[in-house]
A and B are shown apart, each in its own frame.
Chain A
């Protein structure tokens, strides 16, 4: 009859005989996906990111039902959702709180990667898909933030789109092309809405699938950084692995309980989160004629924004010094002379473009370059990290201290980015910028140094 053989009975059997790939996918990704049994707290954030993605997609669908992407109606339509659509306030706060929580969860998810070397071989592709997801998320947040059409929406978009104009030759035309007008206007709002509600979510979903498929092909890393596939039992399953379903599905549901307690505590009791999740000035409708005294992006962009603002004219000489030092360091570290010379030459070109009057780029352009680099540098981690052990557990303690120090720098930059610039703050942001990049660019050297502990064959696990 052309039916497939099936091990199931009843309705499921009828279905499986006709479409075995459905149960096949369930097995591959859930009930027969073997995950290390020693996952700890940090391993909640992957599935939580998926939960927040679903929250954003579902609430987004309902918001679009009442939102008007029209410069003269957008602001009032958001308040219409908040005041007159039954349950609209809940949907809208889910979406606005969800945006911030998405970044909290993803930042913790990425921190886990740094802590246990999750980007190391064979998981480079998993990591790179993750980095592209992060970029999409930033795009999604940026485009979405224009939609309420408040003062911060408007001027934030104006500032960021203007950054493109710093690019030589094509810059001004490029920013005009992105805006679709000479200022942020109805045309900009419509295209941003299209990107936010259609284009980027599609790309994001595809990338999330790629991220999970790539992960399930190579298998999850774990807090010990041990490859569990290297120790198999008689049935060919990892001895330190357990099926994702039911063990980690129930575990993640448990974690979700705590997550939703935090999420709802913010949503119901402090949806503006003191002006960090919903900026106060965004309760004023966009006014192209009134520039706010202080324009700051939402908190999750502020570390990079700080780096952008730190790149002032008097910082260029320090950047040039850092470029020379990097060039010399690489020159004396690479075995092949030709590569060393090429790197040194590149560093010199960079220095010329930083400090030589008449030829040098505008510091604003370097700010844009550094801001872009501060986000993209994560993707290089698999090749920057040369540590013999993946997990911080078996690396020198000072490696862990460096990671914590870098995290503190990230948070300090983030905090500074929310404040108006002042000379003392700019100096701190400049030091922070050098430390931020120093952590990454010096990693090939420091990650090899120190005394490492032997990595065990099996994961360390104490039964519950």
Chain B
């Protein structure tokens, strides 16, 4: 038994050794308020923002308009308030923009958003947190082609679509990096003003860990807060759209497990009834 415990302990330590050195410097993402996934008003608002802002360039070509009935919208509402152009409620959420044009205009065809929060999930972070951070993480940067840059996706091709509502913001990006060939660390603080001009200050640190963080100072507090709320709703919608059946799935699963628990009790007694003969 001691040997077994010892070998298990060895195994655990090997795994622990393997697990360290996971990129510690990666940006800590903001947490998307996940309660919105179960809030129908939030989902509907998210769908509205999605149709108004995202669908101009992005498609959701695996998603049919009338699927939105699942989050409590009627066909008339879908047709009157969400569909622009001549699509029918039975159509897929495609975009009018030709992928070739998109590549010429933006440098890259905007990805289809049908599965986006699932596709952007990884072992390190969830796709919902990533998109939530991305959409709220724009700052003015005079050095880029669009005049925008992003804390979660440096040099992103997509500009800040919420800028009018959000109002101008000042961004402070702080990174702490190890100095090569030395035990010291270097802290770099980049302050981007509302016009995208950057002021960089560097300092040397004796100890600490590599890290990356950012903060924003909004000139229009109300507008910025509204965008935070809208993006949270939009992410709720995007997460719902990756798998519209998810909530049904969990509901059915609960019943399936209850049934199986009862089934197993009967199977257990049936087994006992036969096996009592075996001596």
Contact = CB atoms under 8 A, between A and B. Distances in A.
Interface in A384-435: 397-398, 400-401, 404-405, 408-409, 411-412, 415-416, 418-419, 422, 424-425, 428, 432
B195 interface: no
Interface in B1-40: 1, 3-4, 7-8, 10-11, 14-15, 17-18, 21
Given A261-B257, A261-B264, A463-B278, A428 B18 contact: yes
Contacts of A250: 267, 270-271, 274-275
A283 B119 contact: yes
The DSSP consensus for interface residues of chain A is: helix
A344 interface: no
Interface string B241-271: 0111100011011101100110110011011
Interface stretch (A154-162, A251-259, A348-356): A251-259
Given A247-B274, A284-B119, A397 B253 contact: no
Interface in B112-127: 112, 114-115, 118-123, 127
Interface stretch (A74-82, A103-111, A123-131): A74-82
B56 interface: no
A264 B270 contact: no
B181 interface: no
Given A257-B260, A268-B249, A404-B4, A464 B276 contact: yes
Nearest to B243: A82
Interface string A169-196: 0000000000000000000000000000
A401 B253 contact: no
B268 A257 contact: yes
B260 A401 contact: no
Interface in A246-292: 246-247, 250-251, 253-254, 256-258, 260-261, 264-265, 267-269, 271-272, 274-275, 280-281, 283-285
Given A261-B264, A409-B11, A398 B3 contact: yes
A258 B264 contact: yes
A230 interface: no
Contact of A253 (B123, B245, B257, B271): B271
A408 B260 contact: no
A246 B275 CA distance: 9
Contacts of A320: none
B272 interface: yes
B110 to A, nearest CB: 14
B253 A269 contact: yes
B126 to A, nearest CB: 9
Nearest to A151: B119
Contacts of B67: 83
A89 interface: yes
A401 B11 CA distance: 13
A411 B11 contact: yes
Contacts, number: 135
B62 interface: yes
A163 interface: no
B247 to A, nearest CB: 11
B64 A84 contact: yes
Interface in B59-73: 61-64, 67
A83 B245 contact: yes
A200 to B, nearest CB: 29
A429 to B, nearest CB: 9
Interface residues of A, number: 57
Given A257-B264, A404-B4, A412-B11, A283 B115 contact: yes
Contact of A268 (B243, B250, B272): B250
Interface string B80-106: 000000000000000000000000000
Interface of A: 37, 76, 79-80, 82-84, 89-90, 93, 242, 246-247, 250-251, 253-254, 256-258, 260-261, 264-265, 267-269, 271-272, 274-275, 280-281, 283-285, 397-398, 400-401, 404-405, 408-409, 411-412, 415-416, 418-419, 422, 424-425, 428, 432, 463-464
Interface of B: 1, 3-4, 7-8, 10-11, 14-15, 17-18, 21, 61-64, 67, 112, 114-115, 118-123, 127, 242-245, 249-250, 252-254, 256-257, 260-261, 263-264, 267-268, 270-272, 274-276, 278-279
Given A257-B263, A280-B127, 19 more contacts: A79-B114, A82-B245, A83-B63, A83-B64, A247-B278, A268-B256, A269-B250, A271-B249, A283-B118, A284-B119, A285-B112, A401-B3, A404-B4, A405-B7, A408-B10, A408-B11, A411-B11, A419-B18, A428-B14
Nearest 7 interchain pairs by C-beta: A268-B253, A257-B264, A408-B11, A401-B3, A283-B119, A405-B7, A254-B267
24 contacts: A246-B274, A250-B267, A253-B267, A254-B268, A254-B271, A257-B260, A261-B260, A264-B260, A268-B252, A269-B250, A275-B123, A280-B119, A280-B120, A280-B127, A281-B119, A405-B10, A408-B7, A408-B8, A412-B11, A415-B18, A419-B18, A424-B17, A425-B18, A463-B278
